[in-house]
């Protein structure tokens, strides 16, 4: 590290960095190579393991590419792997997750965007205080609030149902999303808001016809944030739903960590990959927006 810094200081000034093989470059790139291996290798190993048959896994090396590519493990993970008595594979968890994901994402973004708008443009007495509580709430460990929420949900008859989980996701998505929207709406020029006001638009009119249409990027950021967050959730899924509604992550854990039966590592890895595919796709497709989303919470607490 020290050496790279030392040398490149002078070399950065050169006319055109033509000679790629300088000492500092070698060190820089070899460090990066090691780093990249650490980050990329697990994905590679997952993929090759999932494409091998069990006999090959037993005799072979986990780094070796499959001698004979087979999708049997993928098929089994998706459609026939067992969790307890149910042998439908991960497909069931997948559909459960989709059913949880869609209403939770829509609902949480709708509620949080309106809240963010209300406190950004319609400040009222106490609005800042509620917002501060909300932000501090984001740091409270979920474990502290989980049980009273079970009671609350039971009282309103939503415990163990899909909508109960949707509500929980909406609640815990609220701090970060509200912050995101509030910051965005605050950054818009105030003249816009005033002009709409003069033209007679009310609370909802301004939001729906003026602000929301020009806030597409921030809605995209929120969407990415929520889809990955809700899809990856394990804790709320396991606590607030019944076994037949378990999301994919919970079912995945049950399949892989089942105590009975022979361990089928290729099926496990295929199942793990299947669960990871949705957020990975979002990540690789969205690129910069994903980074913006995760940085949004970091920029200002």
Q: How many CA atoms does the CB half-sphere of 8 hold within 13 Å?
A: 14
Residue 225 in the binding site for another protein (CB under 8 A): no
Mark the segment that binds another protein (CB under 8 A) among 72-80, 84-92, 211-219, 280-288. 280-288
**86 DSSP β-pair partners:** 83
Residue 36 in the binding site for another protein (CB under 8 A): yes
Nearer to another protein, 117 or 184 (CB): 117
Give residues 43-62 in contact with another protein (rule: CB under 8 A). Answer: 43, 45-46, 49, 57-58, 61-62
Residue 108: C-alpha distances to residues 77, 122, 281, 287 (Å): 31, 20, 22, 23
Q: Could you tell me the smallest distance in angstroms from the CB atom of residue 87 to another protein?
A: 20
Q: How many CA atoms does the CB half-sphere of 153 hold within 13 Å?
A: 23
Which of 246, 221, 107 has the alpha carbon at shortest distance from 166? 107
Residue 26 in the binding site for another protein (CB under 8 A): no
Residue 158 in the binding site for another protein (CB under 8 A): no
Which one of 231, 241, 246, 289 is in contact with another protein (CB under 8 A)?
231
Give residues 81-140 in contact with another protein (rule: CB under 8 A). Answer: 111-112, 114-115, 117-119, 121-125, 127, 130-131, 133-134, 136-140
Which one of 215, 226, 245, 272 is in contact with another protein (CB under 8 A)?
272
Cα separation, 267 vs 153, in Å, equals 36
What phi and psi values does residue 136 have, to the nearest 5 degrees? -65, -35
Residue 156 in the binding site for another protein (CB under 8 A): no
Which one of 26, 30, 42, 71 is in contact with another protein (CB under 8 A)?
42
Which one of 86, 241, 284, 289 is in contact with another protein (CB under 8 A)?
284
Q: Could you tell me the smallest distance in angstroms from the CB atom of residue 107 to another protein?
A: 10
Cα separation, 32 vs 104, in Å, equals 39
Which one of 105, 215, 241, 268 is in contact with another protein (CB under 8 A)?
268
Q: How many residues bind another protein (CB under 8 A)?
A: 100
Residue 283 in the binding site for another protein (CB under 8 A): yes
Which one of 252, 267, 289, 296 is in contact with another protein (CB under 8 A)?
252
Which one of 51, 159, 290, 296 is in contact with another protein (CB under 8 A)?
290
Q: Could you tell me the smallest distance in angstroms from the CB atom of residue 138 to another protein?
A: 8
Residue 5 in the binding site for another protein (CB under 8 A): yes
Residue 295 in the binding site for another protein (CB under 8 A): yes
Radius of gyration of the chain (CA): 25
Residue 178 in the binding site for another protein (CB under 8 A): yes
Mark the segment that binds another protein (CB under 8 A) among 25-33, 71-79, 86-94, 212-220. 25-33
């Amino acid at each position: 590290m020290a050496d790279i810094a030392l040398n490149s200081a002078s070399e950065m000034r050169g006319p055109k960095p033509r000679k790629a093989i300088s000492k500092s470059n070698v060190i820089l790139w070899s460090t990066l190579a090691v780093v990249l291996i650490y980050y990329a290798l697990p994905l590679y190993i997952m993929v090759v393991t999932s494409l091998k048959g069990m006999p090959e896994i037993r005799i072979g090396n986990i780094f070796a590419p499959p001698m004979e590519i087979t999708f049997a493990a993928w098929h089994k993970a998706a459609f026939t792997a067992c969790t307890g008595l149910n042998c439908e594979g991960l497909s069931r968890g997948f559909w459960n997750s989709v059913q949880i994901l869609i209403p939770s994402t829509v609902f949480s973004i709708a509620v949080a965007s309106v809240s963010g708008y209300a406190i950004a443009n319609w400040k009222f007495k106490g609005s800042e205080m509620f917002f501060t509580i909300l932000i501090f709430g984001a740091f409270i460990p979920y474990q502290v609030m989980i049980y009273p929420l079970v009671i609350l949900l039971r009282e309103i008859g939503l415990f163990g149902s899909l909508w109960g989980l949707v509500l929980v996701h909406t609640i815990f998505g609220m701090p970060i999303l509200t912050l995101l929207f509030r910051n965005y709406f605050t950054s818009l020029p105030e003249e816009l808001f005033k002009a709409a006001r003069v033209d007679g638009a009310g609370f909802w009119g301004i939001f729906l016809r003026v602000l929301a249409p020009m806030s597409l990027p921030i809605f995209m950021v929120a969407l990415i944030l929520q889809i990955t967050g809700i899809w990856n959730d394990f804790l709320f899924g396991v606590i607030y739903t019944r076994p037949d509604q378990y999301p994919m992550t919970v079912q995945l854990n049950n399949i892989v960590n089942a105590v009975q039966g022979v361990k089928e590592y290729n099926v496990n890895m295929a199942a793990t990959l299947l669960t990871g595919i949705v957020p990975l796709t979002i990540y690789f497709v969205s690129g910069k927006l994903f980074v913006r989303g995760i940085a949004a919470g970091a920029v200002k607490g």
